[in-house]
Chain A
Amino acid sequence: QLQVQESGPGLVKPSETLSLTCTVSGDSISSSSYYWGWTRQPPGKGLEWIGSIYYSGSTYYNPSLKSRVTISLDTSKNQFSLKLSSVTAADTAVYYCSGSGSYYRFDHWGQGTLVTVSS
């Protein structure tokens, strides 16, 4: 059973870069035709897709965040990561990573990690 788990700092200062890592277990991120994604949820609000990366390295981003987002794979550690630059309080949210056999859905989710943007 594929499992994913988010990790990273819970507090980031405004204007700095948010960096999170998702550790995958149960399969190799580079050997299967999986899409790996990031989604976020501001406190008390709904879900927002941030972006996805294919096992080959192709990336797809939400147009509203594209200028600030980078998603990448680290095959040596079986991890993928999210970097969001120039953060503001509006980026405070629970960030979820996911893995899926299709671009159009999210099969396996992590438990999420809360990132607060504050000085």
Chain B
Amino acid sequence: QSALTQPASVSGSPGQSITISCTGTSSDVGSYNVVSWYQQHPGKGPKLMIYEGSKRPSGVSNRFSGSKSGNTASLTVSGLQAEDEADYYCCSYAGSNTLVFGGGTKLTVL
């Protein structure tokens, strides 16, 4: 299976909103409502931010939200804060008991 496609970088000013896309195919993102999103700060392990497309784990800020349209999932971060600056990865089930990640997006808070 091929990696999901994410933009290499996105940026926004504090207080603004940004959206990170995650494009797959009808064999992965388009077929299953299980996309998850992870935040990774430099030198740290990833942290689950969104699962099953739009659900937030306990403790994750409601400034983070997820959605899906067709073969593309999206992560929106509203009210940007300096601490949101990190790398973000999406992940989807791709059938046949396999999981696939996106290439990652670097979020810069200007």
- Taking Cβ atoms with an 8 Å cutoff, the residues of A that contact B are 39, 46-49, 52, 60, 62-63, 96, 102-107, 109-112
Contacts and interface: CB of A to CB of B under 8 A. Distances in A.
- Interface size on B, as a range, is 20 to 34
Contacts of B99: 49, 52, 62, 103-104
B98 interface: yes
Given A104-B52, A106-B91, 6 more contacts: A46-B101, A62-B99, A63-B96, A96-B45, A104-B36, A106-B48
B11 to A, nearest CB: 19
Contacts of B91: 47, 49, 105-106
Contact of A46 (B36, B89, B96): B89
A96 B40 CA distance: 12
A49 B57 CA distance: 21
Contact of B51 (A60, A102, A111): A102
